[in-house]
């Protein structure tokens, strides 16, 4: 996202429908500029939404600084959202803690990131899920990736610890079924990098007990899963390592494409 910090402000929390309207408006523009047709995302209710609801969404987008006027996305935000719709690097994370869960999509391009977090909460452990009608939107320079992500993760030290603060909590390997019974929180993450028609993928999964962090891994030799104890900070470390690999992949495909 080749935009300056002064031209963008982070809106924080906005209604999910308003964010869907912004995505839809940019997607339509991108499709038209490339000579393609685009149909609004019907599962978001955009096609059937009334004029009053859409007007309310545009008003919210203006107040958040995303729109510069009715039916007009701010140029800098237009660039950021267009990159978010088709990023070079896309990180997805899903976390659970007690009765709460969150899904995060973070796109990275041109040294900038756009993170969208959606929260879900169930009032009872066995009750129906209650979806919050809003999303958290964060704009960030790439070097602020982990400080931004950790704010959207459950308030569990094992998940939020930075890579430089790794603390080795000695523990033995657990059977995944045993871990499920004692689990306090969990996190899955994936990263997809695209360039010149090529694809690179990375994924990881973790779970915590009262004072330990475990990495959930596939044991190909035994055709099963295993839970290995890892230091606090392992999630941040693995993510930063994967991101470095993603940039190497992008640089390598650029060099091959230039030959």
CA 245 to chain centre: 18
- Per residue in 185-204, pLDDT tens? 999 999 999 999 999 999 99
Angle (nearest 5°) at CA 68 between 87 and 45: 65
Q: Which domain holds residue 76?
A: 5-85
Instruction: Please check whether residues 68 and 163 belong to one and the same domain.
Output: no
Instruction: Please check whether residues 64 and 14 belong to one and the same domain.
Output: yes
Instruction: Please check whether residues 67 and 128 belong to one and the same domain.
Output: no
What pLDDT sits at residue 4? 43
Low-confidence ranges of the chain (pLDDT < 50): 1-6, 42-43
In this structure, what DSSP letter does residue 98 have? T
Q: Looking up tokens 């994924």, which residue turns up?
A: 203
**Length of the chain measured in residues:** 259
What pLDDT sits at residue 1? 41
In this structure, what DSSP letter does residue 65 have? T
Domain count, the chain: 2
CA 143 → CA 43, 54, 110, distances in Å?
Answer: 34, 35, 12
Instruction: Please check whether residues 209 and 128 belong to one and the same domain.
Output: yes
Q: What is the CA radius of gyration of the chain?
A: 20
**What CA–CA distance (Å, rounded) separates 53 from 60?**
11
- Determine contact, residues 64/11, Cβ cutoff 8 Å: yes
Instruction: Please check whether residues 181 and 247 belong to one and the same domain.
Output: yes
What pLDDT sits at residue 48? 60
Angle (nearest 5°) at CA 103 between 100 and 109: 150
Instruction: Please check whether residues 81 and 95 belong to one and the same domain.
Output: no
Instruction: Please check whether residues 25 and 48 belong to one and the same domain.
Output: yes
- Determine contact, residues 30/82, Cβ cutoff 8 Å: yes
Instruction: Please check whether residues 81 and 97 belong to one and the same domain.
Output: no
DSSP assignment string, 113-152: EEEEEEEEEESSTTSPEEEEEEEEEEEEEGGGHHHHHHHT
CA 120 to chain centre: 15
**What CA–CA distance (Å, rounded) separates 52 from 31?**
26
What pLDDT sits at residue 99? 83
Instruction: Please check whether residues 49 and 174 belong to one and the same domain.
Output: no
Instruction: Please check whether residues 50 and 124 belong to one and the same domain.
Output: no
Strand-pairing partners, residue 215, are 206, 228
- Domain end marker among 85, 114, 138: 85
């Amino acid at each position: 996202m080749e935009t300056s910090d002064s031209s963008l402000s982070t809106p924080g929390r906005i209604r999910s429908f308003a964010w869907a309207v912004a995505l839809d408006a940019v997607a339509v523009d991108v499709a038209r500029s490339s000579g393609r047709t685009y149909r609004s995302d019907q599962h978001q209710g955009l096609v059937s939404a009334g004029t009053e609801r859409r007007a309310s969404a545009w008003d919210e987008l203006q107040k958040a600084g995303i729109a510069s006027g009715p039916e007009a996305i701010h140029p800098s935000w237009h660039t950021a959202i267009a990159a978010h719709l088709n990023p070079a690097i896309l990180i997805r994370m899903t976390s659970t803690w007690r009765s709460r869960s969150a899904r995060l999509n973070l796109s990275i391009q041109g040294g900038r990131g756009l993170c969208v977090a959606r929260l879900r909460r169930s009032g009872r452990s066995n009750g129906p899920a209650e979806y919050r009608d809003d999303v958290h939107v964060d704009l960030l320079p790439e070097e602020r990736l982990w400080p931004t992500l950790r704010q959207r993760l459950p308030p569990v030290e094992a998940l939020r610890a930075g890579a430089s603060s790794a603390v080795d909590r000695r523990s033995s390997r657990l059977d995944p079924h045993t871990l499920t019974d004692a689990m306090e929180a969990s996190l899955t993450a994936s990263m997809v990098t695209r360039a010149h028609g090529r694809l690179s993928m990375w994924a990881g999964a973790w779970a915590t007990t009262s004072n330990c962090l475990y990495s959930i891994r596939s044991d190909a030799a035994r055709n099963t899963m295993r839970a290995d104890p890892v230091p606090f900070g392992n999630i941040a470390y693995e993510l930063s390592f994967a991101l470095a690999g993603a940039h190497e992949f992008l640089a390598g495909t650029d060099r091959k494409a230039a030959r």
